[in-house]
Amino acid sequence: MNRKQGFTLIELLVVIAIIAILAGMILPALSKAKAKTQGISCMNNTKQITLAWIMYGNDQEDWMMPNFESGDPNDRPLSWVTGWLDWDGGTDNTNWLYLVDPKYAQMGNYMSKAAKAFKCPADNNAMPKGSKGVIGKQRVRTVSMNSYMNQNAGPGEAYWDTNKDNKGLRIYRKMSDLKKLKPTSAWVIVDEHPDSVNDGCLFPEAGIVNEGGIKVVKGDTSRSTWRDTPSSLHNGACGFSYADGHSEVRKWKTKPMIVDCRTVKFIYMPDTIQIGGDRTDWDWFGAHSAEVY
């Protein structure tokens, strides 16, 4: 009786090689499919938030939803969201109420059952070792609002459109204020870099060599930095929504935003990402944030 022979060593090596080749072909395709799915989900999220923002304007006689950077919510009109995010592990980082409870956030009147919309699906960063919070716990929010969309200052604070850093840049109070900068071009919601996000505002301004907020684009930006930094969570791209209600995931064009911005160091990082000599992304961002008058 003949015994069945198994695979020879050479045959096994050939099979392993074929599997490796197939894996090399399939895994990148799966990665691209996952990234595309995350991008679509991100756009749906930011669009949902912006449509709620538009509904507020319709309900409030054209006034935009209040938007401020920090401080006690009791000192001023209740903001679109509240809470302060960081990597130290404070309870604000994991508290959905600051996003969807009308007691704490204006968005709560429109999105009480849509808390997950505030978190970009591509943001899987969690509390690092050494934080006071639960290690491995993810934060509840990735998105921030354009600071020029009805930013409010509290008692004793100056409005950013009148101080030396932002002189001549318009803060929009009503939907109808968006004329020169059209609703189709004015971004409202953005995915902020995990090391940059804290309050609900993102300030489109430069640091270090500050020549006047967004107007720094007229000067030398080679040594300037982004004060608050948009994300690059989508493989060198960032999620945006606009005042007309549409959303997109926009590819960055410059190395600081494509490469440097993809690193997460789990530390607060204002004035860290350089604008660089190529101002393509900075120019675009400024032109879609506010108008100079």
Tens digit of each residue's pLDDT, the chain (293 residues): 555 566 687 878 888 888 888 877 776 665 666 778 888 999 999 999 999 999 999 999 999 999 975 545 555 678 999 999 999 888 999 999 999 999 999 999 999 999 999 999 999 998 887 777 677 889 999 999 999 999 875 444 434 443 334 445 788 999 999 999 999 999 999 999 999 999 999 988 765 444 444 444 444 555 677 888 999 999 999 999 999 999 999 999 999 898 888 889 988 887 778 887 788 998 899 889 988 76
Q: pLDDT value at position 53?
A: 98
Contact indicator for 145, 67 with CB cutoff of 8 Å: yes
d(CA 45, CA 30): 22
**Residue at 77 is within a domain:** yes
Q: pLDDT value at position 68?
A: 77
Beta pairing partners, 254: none
DSSP state, residue 149: B
**Residue at 32 is within a domain:** no
d(CA 48, CA 191): 14
Residues 6 or more apart whose Cβ sits within 8 Å of residue 41: 121
**Residue at 240 is within a domain:** yes
d(CA 171, CA 33): 39
pTM score over 0.75? yes
Q: pLDDT value at position 193?
A: 95
Contact indicator for 191, 255 with CB cutoff of 8 Å: no
- Taken in order 55, 93, 147, 261, the sign of the CA dihedral is negative
Q: pLDDT value at position 153?
A: 52
d(CA 80, CA 104): 9
Cβ neighbourhood burial of 95 (10 Å; 0-12, 13-18, 19+): middle
d(CA 227, CA 165): 12
**Residue at 8 is within a domain:** no
**Residue at 276 is within a domain:** yes
The structural domain count of the chain equals 1
d(CA 2, CA 19): 31
List the one residue out of 74, 143, 88, 90 whose CA is nearest residue 115: 143
Q: pLDDT value at position 36?
A: 81
| DSSP H helices in the chain | 9-59, 97-100, 255-258, 280-287
**Residue at 202 is within a domain:** yes
Q: pLDDT value at position 74?
A: 53
Q: pLDDT value at position 230?
A: 95
Token pair recorded at residue 42: 């991100």
**Residue at 16 is within a domain:** no
**Residue at 1 is within a domain:** no
Q: pLDDT value at position 125?
A: 92
For 20-36, give one letter per residue: b (16+ CB within 10 A) or e: eeeeeeeeeeeeeeebe
Pairing mode, if any, of strands 187-191 and 143-146? antiparallel
Q: What range does the domain containing 223 cover?
A: 42-287
